[in-house]
């Protein structure tokens, strides 16, 4: 039995840019930010910045000059993302 399958690229793009995905991404980014706040000194600015490329996306920013050291030494962002249920893998080209 042969089945004809065609990917509806416009439909997929619409879903990935839609409000449901945006809500999911923003919620997960908020969870990661809350987890980071628990790992850094009180009062450290932690921001969630949502944006859209070909899909809804967000970044969690620790706006402190010491943040790179905390990530390198303690993995604050990696641990916070893992605690939110996200899979963290090394970036590959």
- d(CA 56, CA 26) in angstroms, rounded, equals 9
**Interval 40-83: pLDDT, tens:** 999 999 999 999 888 899 999 999 999 999 999 999 999 999 99
Task: Collapse the DSSP code of 93 into the 3-class scheme (helix H, G, I; strand E, B; otherwise coil) and give the result.
Answer: coil
**Interval 16-39: pLDDT, tens:** 999 999 999 999 999 999 999 999
- d(CA 39, CA 9) in angstroms, rounded, equals 40
- Largest distance between two CA atoms of the chain: 62
The strand pairing partners of 56, in sequence order, are 52
Task: Collapse the DSSP code of 82 into the 3-class scheme (helix H, G, I; strand E, B; otherwise coil) and give the result.
Answer: helix
Return the higher-pLDDT residue of 73 and 1.
Answer: 73
């Amino acid at each position: 039995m042969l089945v004809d399958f065609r990917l509806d690229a416009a439909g997929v793009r619409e879903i990935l840019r839609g409000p449901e995905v945006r809500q999911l991404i923003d919620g997960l980014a908020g969870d990661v930010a809350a987890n980071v706040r628990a790992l850094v000194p009180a009062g450290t600015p932690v921001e969630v910045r949502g944006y859209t490329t070909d899909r809804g996306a967000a970044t969690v920013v620790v706006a402190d000059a010491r943040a790179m050291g905390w990530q390198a030494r303690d993995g604050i962002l990696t641990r916070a993302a893992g605690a939110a249920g996200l899979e963290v893998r090394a970036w590959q080209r």
